[in-house]
Structure 1
């Protein structure tokens, strides 16, 4: 039996050549890549080629499933392809056909790069504005999440790229980020199962894999998070009648790592209903690989059968979806929540306030250069000064200011923003959900973009100037 089939590993933890030696020994089902594994398309292509060579040429086994988290919005590993603005953007637009198209375009472009597994979409419900979920969710309405999740799944899988519904049974009702600690969901069983409705729709849509969350659901299991809980896994496998692949969230996250030892993780995952352990750190992956070899093969056999089924190719559409529709829709689909029109003939400051990512899952930040390039291509000759300076440095008054930021309810800077809006003509472009509109000064214009994607920001800027309704 090839024991690496039960592992999805990242390359973190050692130098590149050393990681490739680990890959050669382990021969995992999948290698998950992150943005810091490559700088451009050439490096990505060369890396995938090296990995495939180890499998196909050196070891005479099928190429692994190269995987990424290409969710769209703030969680994007490959920034140069036409990625989704964000799930919340799609949910607010509420056009299922467009969401299906976004899935198709994502699938086509990933497949073209040799990537056959996307750890998306997020099907968590936006409850309580969990800071690690936010615009990664399609919204707060279960029907909307289920509908758009299913369409994205069908779209991406039509180009032979496996989708992953995550994070079962739902990560949206806890405020703690499982990358840094173990969240506890203290709701009753009925509420938890109710929020898992979008996963039923994903199963109906034929989703290839479902990822378990690192959340402790007290009413289901007082001791273990979903990734290690027999009760939660039985709920998915038996109550939901799910027959495809179950994968864990990464076992190097602090919700699990350091809290449970390797043998306990193996017992709670692979010895239960989990088929594949994800671990971003390759040294840790080797520990799991060695432990899995001690498991009775009779227990592993049904998992191996599901994995073999997972590896079977889908019938792939032959035509290329045009990216023009994506670019058109994302430019016009931001929403003016509080109108204030700026004068294009007067100088203005464009302040991109989020100079670093707020979550460990996000790797792609807004780029001042990309926003300015997009605006320059439109040849509007706006008198804009670009900056990322913090608000305390803005001493002048009587200026036009466009502030671009995310999740003001989680920050102390909102008081500075409101003070500035009392002395200047300001518009705020929100790149996340619009739950903070109530704390942003009524003197300030407010536009919901639901995304950090530069093209979406540009569309919102055009609305701030009154060029679009």
Structure 2
């Protein structure tokens, strides 16, 4: 039973990393800029991962803007906030461009046998959050929903699932959970606008969600990523997709010092799988341990739905080129 998606060190799969892929609780690999030097290299790396573990999840943070891990040889996707600014002037065009961006992201990643990107960001745009900022589409939750819907249409055109983040909303919270454990003291009524995009995406069938390493003390003293209260709330809203923890190496997760206990705490809270991205010692240590899911069969089903959807590059090529052309033609609208 898979429990953790791991980061790897460089542009080639090391022998000890190949061995980790065969551990029963390893779910797959998340890739970063350190794992990329060229398209040819990325193709070799993904093929090597698949040869070691055909059912591995291969994923990446490839949102666009400052969070785009692969650049040389890939289309530069604007930050999602650019689509929001365009929406304020030309809402129909903004949705068309967001859909085109989804097609380009998915097509370019799927060519390398990468299953999915962690996108879209469903947080609200607010100057209070430097870490989110223009990664968010807009400050208006209804606009976030419309643009996220459009991006997801583009992803689905190419057979890629979406992962919405960071539930129940990071955009209006001061502090970066990469470096600290932020707190949001607002009550549920005050946070309703932040939750709105997630609720609407659940209603429209989003396949996966990522909870935030943020404490909401009015609800629970634990970060949302470790909170049975928050993750049960997702299920109560009707969400039956995969819950994927944010990186358990981040400072917002380090109140639990033992990496294996961190993984188990997230699973106990209701996550289907976790991420451990950058602490390679912790990754090796964690994969020597056993883990237990609250509902192993349901988690296995949810994770299987994220894997390798059918992809026919030749059939999808016209849609891809049309999407690229739309983004090129209207690039000035996204400045």
TM-score, normalisation: structure 2:
0.88
Q: Residue 327 in 1 paired to residue 328 in 2?
A: yes
* 1:115 corresponds to 2:114: yes
Q: Deviations over 1:109-150 (max 9, x none)?
A: 111121111111111111343110111000100001111112
Task: Please give the secondary structure, in 2, of the residue aligned with 1:248.
Answer: strand
* Counterpart among 9, 22, 25 of residue 23 in structure 2: 25
Note closer, same or farther for the CA distance 1:316–1:169 as it changes in structure 2 (3 Å cut). farther
Q: Which has the larger radius of gyration?
A: 1
- Once the two structures are superposed, the pairs formed by residues 149-168 of structure 1 within 5 Å of their partners are 149-168=148-167
The Cα shift of 1:106 comes to 1.1
Give, in angstroms, the shift of residue 302 of structure 1.
2.3
In structure 2, relative to structure 1, the CA distance for the partners of 1:6 and 1:266 (3 Å cut) is closer
Whether 1:309 aligns to 2:308 is no
Structure 1 residues 20, 189: CA separation in 2 closer, same or farther (over 3 Å shift)?
same
Which among 78, 85, 96 is matched to residue 92 of structure 1? 85
- The corresponding residue for 1:141 is 140
Q: Which residue, out of 32, 48, 57, partners 1:65?
A: 57
Q: How many residues align?
A: 321
Aligned equivalents of 1:68, 1:174: Cα separation in 2: 24
CA distance in 2, matches of 1:110, 1:312: 11
Q: Please report how far the alpha carbon of residue 88 of structure 1 lies from its aligned counterpart in structure 2 after TM superposition.
A: 0.4
Deviations 1:282-337 (A, max 9, x none): 4423444444x253x7742321232233337368793322212212212x225xxx
Which of the pair has the greater relative contact order for Cα pairs under 8 Å at 6+ separation? Answer: 2
Deviation at 1:266, TM superposition (A): 3.7
CA distance in 1, matches of 2:51, 2:206: 29
The answer to whether residue 73 in structure 2 is matched with residue 77 in structure 1 is no
Q: Secondary structure in 2 aligned to 1:67?
A: strand
Three-state SS of the structure 1 residue aligned to 2:40 is helix
What's the Cα RMSD here? 2.4
**1:34-84 deviation per Cα after TM superposition (whole angstroms, max 9, x unaligned):** 0011211121111111111112xxxxxx33221110000111111131242
1:372-427 per-residue CA deviation (whole Å, 9 max, x = no partner) reads xxxxxxxxxxxxxxxxxxxxxxxxxxxxxxxxxxxxxxxxxxxxxxxxxxxxxxxx
Unaligned runs of 5+ in 2: 88-93
For residues 98 and 115 of structure 2, the distance between their equivalents in structure 1, rounded to whole angstroms, comes to: 19
CA distance in 2, matches of 1:74, 1:86: 7
Choose between structure 1 and 2: higher helix proportion: 2
In 2, Cα distance between equivalents of 1:210 and 1:73: 21
Q: Say whether the 8 Å CA contact 1:165–1:211 is kept in structure 2.
A: yes
SS of equivalent to 2:247 = coil
Distance 1:46 1:96, change over 3 A: same
From 42, 46, 53, give the equivalent of 1:44.
42
State the distance in 2 between where 1:315 and 1:36 align.
26
**Is this contact kept in 1: 2:27–2:56, CA < 8 A?**
yes
| 1:230 matched to 2:228 | yes
The 2-side partners of 1:211 and 1:286 are apart by: 23
Whether 1:274 aligns to 2:266 is no
Contact 1:70 1:83 in 2 (8 A): no
Q: 1:259 to 1:128 in 2, by over 3 A?
A: farther
Match of 2:246, SS state, is coil
Deviation at 1:102, TM superposition (A): 1.1
Deviation of 1:26 after TM superposition, in Å, equals 4.7
TM-score by structure 1 length? Answer: 0.64
* Cα distance, 1:46–1:315 mapped onto 2, change above 3 Å: closer
Q: Which residue of structure 1 aligns with residue 90 of structure 2?
A: none
* Contact 2:228–2:268 (8 Å) recurs in 1: no
Q: Give the gaps of 5 or more residues in structure 1.
A: 56-61, 335-448, 450-469
